[in-house]
Amino acid sequence: MFNALRAACLGLALLGADAAAADVPVRTHVDDVAHAIEANYFDAVRGKQIASGLRGAASSGAFDKLTDDRDLATTLTDRLKPIDRHFAVTWSPDAAPQPRARERRGPPQDDPQRRSNYGIRRVEVQPGNIGYIDLRAFADFEFGKPDQPARQAIEAALQLVSAADALIIDLRNNGGGSPAMVGYLSSAFTPKGADIYNTFHYRDGTASEAPTDWYAKPRLDTPLYVLINARTGSAAEAFAYTMKNAGRATVVGEASAGAANPGDFVDAGHGFRVFVSTGSPVNPISKKNWEGDGVAPDVAVASAAAFDAAKALALESVLKQDRPESGKTDARWALEALRAEAAPPTGVRLEDYVGSYGALLVGQDDGHLFLRRGRRPPTMLQPLGNDVFAAVAESGTRVEFERGGDHRVAAFEMKSSDGLSSRHRRDE
């Protein structure tokens, strides 16, 4: 009798334990995330496998100690990321129901793309006539509508550097964005209709990244350099990968993030959302993509050194072009200044040059030489060696000091890359 009662109690306890395990909320949340992946992942078979792995881990209690939904979201993201770099799970309190459009009050919502200037952080022309575009996102727009702000913004950026002899596009902190912008920007440097664009494979078909509107005046011969690092992801990687495989650009920096497969967030309920890759690109040249491995740079350098490395390559390319000598002089001087900055000449005694030269003053401040005229801001001088200095803020200007028979500095000649010059004698 006692043994039978004991067995019955043990059985009830086990049933209770099973029921308690089934009631663990975290397991329900994991199952919801797994379902979102299983229903939407571009590879249905792989999606089912990923979902099964999550459910198995949940059943074994792998997530039971995560009582904070935010911790669960982070843990699931860390678990899924190695499988597909786009996977991400987020959690936020369930938002209150939004009123229907006609019931909304207040000012219209601001466009986040506008607030970030459509991803365009900086556009300028560097010394030696090297164009530079710092692009932090690939803003979205629809083809067939040329007046859309994102399209107009990138066209304006390209116009500002349209006279540059070479171009650097900096994607080192660009997390991606719109395939439409990838296709359109690519068409600014490649022949119309070129078979270079990725084709995305979805569960229900395919789609090309090729634009339906093409950039009107592509620059087919302008040397192009694309900067990348481990923060370069998704659409930004697509642009670098396309340009690299087409042989149209030199990619400089570090391997990119390796997030090739595009997708979107899927509501998994109870405040959870999961970013699921719904497609996967295939490049017509490489016959594959960059998922996991990232885009490999043609010139591998540390991220912080990528700009200077690309700039040196761009200046070298300009010197090889068939251009007027004045343009080559400007590029040559800029390249020499860049190299001197990286490896300053030794044995330069700045005090040798300090003094008054008529209306001009050469002074020294905190280990740097400067040139000043009256109340004008000083021009910093960078030593190049052999009594020659580059004007830091004026790339087309040099200062060449002359020494007398006693080896003391007696004068300097200020030269510009267009051939003009002026000589200034040192006051006695």
**Total number of domains in the chain:** 3
Looking at the fold, whether 207 and 252 belong to one and the same domain comes out as yes
* Single residue among 318, 335, 367 that ends a domain in this structure: 318
**What pLDDT digit, counting tens, does each position of 206-260 carry?**
999 999 999 999 999 999 999 999 999 999 999 999 999 999 999 999 999 999 9
User: What pLDDT does 94 receive?
Assistant: 67
Flag whether 93 is in a domain.
Answer: no
Which has the higher per-residue pLDDT, 26 or 6? Answer: 26
* Single residue among 25, 58, 83 that ends a domain in this structure: 83
Looking at the fold, whether 293 and 399 belong to one and the same domain comes out as no
User: What pLDDT does 19 receive?
Assistant: 40
- Helix/strand/coil for 385: strand
User: What pLDDT does 15 receive?
Assistant: 42
Confidence of residue 327 (pLDDT cuts 50, 70, 90): confident
Looking at the fold, whether 275 and 142 belong to one and the same domain comes out as yes
Cβ distance 85 to 291 under 8 Å? yes
User: What pLDDT does 325 receive?
Assistant: 78
User: What pLDDT does 109 receive?
Assistant: 59
Tokens 């149209």, residue? 248
Looking at the fold, whether 290 and 403 belong to one and the same domain comes out as no
Distance, in Å, from the CA atom of 123 to the CA atom of 211, rounded to the nearest integer, reads 24
> In which order are the strands placed within the sheet that holds 199-202?
205-208, 199-202, 279-282
What would the mean pLDDT of 356-385 be, rounded to a whole number?
A: 95
**What pLDDT digit, counting tens, does each position of 73-127 carry?**
999 999 999 999 999 999 998 644 444 444 444 455 568 899 899 999 999 999 9
* Single residue among 83, 106, 141 that ends a domain in this structure: 83
User: What pLDDT does 424 receive?
Assistant: 97
Is the pLDDT assigned to residue 22 strictly greater than 70?
Answer: no
Flag whether 200 is in a domain.
Answer: yes
**What is the residue range of 169's domain?**
116-318
User: What pLDDT does 428 receive?
Assistant: 82
Is the pLDDT assigned to residue 7 strictly greater than 60?
Answer: no
CB neighbours of 76 closer than 8 A, spacing ≥ 6?
Answer: 30, 33, 54, 63, 89, 274
Looking at the fold, whether 287 and 366 belong to one and the same domain comes out as no
- Determine how β-strand 250-253 pairs with β-strand 409-416: unpaired
Is the pLDDT assigned to residue 49 strictly greater than 90?
Answer: yes
Flag whether 121 is in a domain.
Answer: yes
Is the pLDDT assigned to residue 24 strictly greater than 70?
Answer: no
**What pLDDT digit, counting tens, does each position of 164-194 carry?**
999 999 999 999 999 999 999 999 999 999 9
Looking at the fold, whether 233 and 280 belong to one and the same domain comes out as yes
Looking at the fold, whether 139 and 238 belong to one and the same domain comes out as yes
Q: Structure pTM?
A: 0.87
Is the pLDDT assigned to residue 296 strictly greater than 80?
Answer: yes
CB neighbours of 237 closer than 8 A, spacing ≥ 6?
Answer: 176, 228, 256, 257, 258, 259, 260, 290, 294, 295
Which has the higher per-residue pLDDT, 8 or 93? Answer: 93
Flag whether 214 is in a domain.
Answer: yes
Is the pLDDT assigned to residue 8 strictly greater than 90?
Answer: no
Where residue 158 sits, what CATH number does that domain have? 3.90.226.10
- Determine how β-strand 397-403 pairs with β-strand 409-416: antiparallel
Distance, in Å, from the CA atom of 352 to the CA atom of 350, rounded to the nearest integer, reads 5
Cβ distance 48 to 69 under 8 Å? no
What does the mean pLDDT of the chain come to?
A: 91
Q: What percent of the chain has pLDDT over 90?
A: 85
**What pLDDT digit, counting tens, does each position of 283-292 carry?**
999 999 999 9
Confidence of residue 398 (pLDDT cuts 50, 70, 90): very high
**What pLDDT digit, counting tens, does each position of 135-151 carry?**
999 999 999 999 999 99
Distance, in Å, from the CA atom of 268 to the CA atom of 29, rounded to the nearest integer, reads 8
